[in-house]
Structure 1
Amino acid sequence: MRKLPNLTENFLGRAIEALETEAFAGVFFQWLVRCFEIDNTTMLAYFQNRPPQLLFSHAQEKRVHEKLESNYLTGAYLLDPFHDLHIQRAPAGLHRMRDIAPDQFLRNEYYSVYYRRTTLIDELAYVAYPSEGVSVHVCLGRDASSERVFSTRDMERAEQIAPIACALIARNWSGLRTSGDFKDSTVSDGLRARMDSVHGISLTPRQAEIALLILKGHSSASIAMRLEISPQTVKVFRKQLYRKCEISSQAELFSLMMPVLTTLEF
């Protein structure tokens, strides 16, 4: 019987052999791209008490990772829907950006200033929890190099191999460690302190909380559902927030707060 070229199972075997070695991430990606078509990957570890750690990246389109270290890892990650999965302790498995992004994600400043410039058209991630308080996200994207979203068949295949992918991720990066507890209030408390010290603006806990949700791309209705308050109450807090910050738009809120977010320490 003639041996088939690029047999997917061969690359899976190589990935298993490479577990807990420096070669794993690259070999793991080689297996994934033989399961379904992928333009790029970004493998990240999220922690409780420090910024994310880049584990591996690959892309033919250079713009995908052009601002990764200078923008994303220094603070923009706090507004990323995938990082929100870490905060919310989302179940391990496959997650797609279009399914988890806030309702106004495509209209918010994080998308305009950072995400759109990556040329990413579609993105999904395998999320695993190798140790307490640590999540590893293997993000797989389609970008300007192909200009195509993942098809229904791609997603079916990606879902089919999810248990294998997540098990390998958890096993390989089981040595990663963190400490403390990280949640939305951790960021909003830090934001309040820094806004007061840097700009002399004293925000209430609720105003800071709503500011972060606005920056992430949530509408007033979405914020209301998340915080279990009425949309009208959200609008009142939003007006108070803008008045206190002496601004009138989300773009101004982003310009004011993004530099502050990059200086937060956890």
Structure 2
Amino acid sequence: MTLSVYASDALAAAILAVGTDKFSEALHRWMGAACVFDNIAIIAFFQSCGPQVLMTHARDSRVFERIDSHYVKGAYMLDPFYGLHQKQAADGVHRLTEVAPDQFQRNEYFKSYYANTTLIDELAFFSRLSSSSSITVCIGRDATTGSRFSPKDYMTAQNIAPVVNALVKANWSGLTSETQSEPEDIVEHLRQRLSVDQSINLSPRQAQVALLILQGHSSISIGLTLGISPQTVKVLRKQLYRKCQISSQGELYYLVAPYLSEAG
């Protein structure tokens, strides 16, 4: 990895800022000297509660306009980068298009939330702090430049990823959630709330399928995830829609979204 004099100085400043309240901005400055991006968000994920936004910066105000009112309140559960936390992914950098479900851009989360951010492309530097916590440093391209990350940009991100992740771990190694509680099973939460509020009694498998549909998985992808055939998925999907008295993924989203917020 070859750094300019400015980038080297910025990296030194980030190292010296570890453990201080100036770290996030110092990390931002160094990464900005090494990569070209329009926005950055540093988000901590936990098993026992919703995420904690540690920093955001964007030239276009639309990018993070609803991060507190919608994303943190429950929409994050449908974010492919949150999936890295759930799967306990390896440290490194991940491109949104590589980790998103096959029908991510067709789902209601993308249409009603993500598209409004004007984000075009994202890279997430993922760092696992412990078995129950992780941090993603997401850099993005949005309407500001209107361009995606090039293969060269991605290679640069891969080259600096070990340093980004090392700095993140050094600064936030002791980070814990503000509220301590037992991890909640979102599938069981959905089943209980739909039963109590809507008199909709889903089986565990039907609730699993519902969540995967909302995340943007096709029947084939759901089948691979759950280890069942696509035909079985289609049967479960029909049963799900019939029980919920709906006919589209959009209707499913607006039925379930309030309960995602509760679980977050």
Which band: TM-score by shorter chain? Answer: over 0.9
Check conservation: 2:10, 2:29, Cα contact below 8 A: yes
- The aligned counterpart of 2:210 is 211
Deviation at 1:113, TM superposition (A): 0.4
Distance 1:181 1:88, change over 3 A: farther
Contact in 1 for aligned 2:125/2:161 (Cα 8 Å): yes
* Residue identity opposite 2:9 in structure 1: N
Shift in Å at residue 5 of structure 1? 8.4
Matches within 5 A, 1:27-176: 27-176=26-175
SS at match of 1:125: strand
CA displacement, residues 57-104 of structure 1 (integer Å, 9 cap, x when unaligned): 000010000110000000000111000110011111101100000000
CA offset at residue 20 of structure 1?
A: 1.1
Deviations 1:31-80 (A, max 9, x none): 00110101000110000111000000000010000110000000000111
Is residue 130–residue 171 contact of structure 1 (8 Å, CA) maintained in 2?
A: no
Following TM superposition, by how much is the alpha carbon of 1:181 offset from its aligned partner in structure 2, in angstroms?
7.0
Change (3 A) 1:181 1:159: farther
Give CA-to-partner distance per residue, 1:108-131, whole Å, 9 cap, x none. 000000000000000011010223
In structure 2, distance between residues paired with 1:181 and 1:94: 29
Greater CA drift, 99-108 or 254-263: 254-263
Distance 1:180 1:236 in 2: 36
Aligned partners of 2:24 and 2:191: how far apart in 1?
38
Cα distance in 2 for residues equivalent to 1:170 and 1:197: 42
SS in 2 for 1:7: helix
1:253 match: secondary structure? helix
Segments of 5+ residues of structure 2 without an aligned counterpart are none
Query: Residue 36 of structure 1 aligns to which amino acid in structure 2?
Result: C
TM-score when normalising by structure 2: 0.95
Give the corresponding residue for 1:26: 25
Deviation at 1:144, TM superposition (A): 0.2
Note if contact 1:131-1:175 (Cα within 8 Å) is conserved in structure 2.
no
CA 1:208–1:217 in structure 2 vs 1: closer, same or farther (change >3 Å)?
A: same
What is the CA RMSD across the aligned residues, in angstroms? 1.5
Q: Deviations over 1:136-185 (max 9, x none)?
A: 00000000000000011111111001111101111111111256775xx8
In structure 2, distance between residues paired with 1:58 and 1:175 = 24
1:11 has 2:7 as partner: no
Q: Which runs of 5+ in 1 are unaligned?
A: none
Corresponding letter in the other structure for 2:8: E
- Give the conservation status (yes or no) of the 8 Å contact 2:133–2:176: yes
The count of aligned residue pairs is 260
Whole-angstrom distance in 1 between the partners of 2:153 and 2:4: 21
Aligned to 2:249: 250
Q: Deviations over 1:181-239 (max 9, x none)?
A: 75xx8211111111112212111100000000000000000000111100000000000
TM-score (norm 1): 0.94
Distance 1:247 1:50, change over 3 A: same
What is the CA distance between 1:132 and its match in structure 2? 3.4
Task: Check whether the contact 1:102–1:217 (CA below 8 A) recurs between aligned residues.
Answer: yes
Cα distance in 2, alignment partners of residues 131 and 221 from structure 1: 32
Look up the equivalent residue of 2:202 and give its one-letter code: L
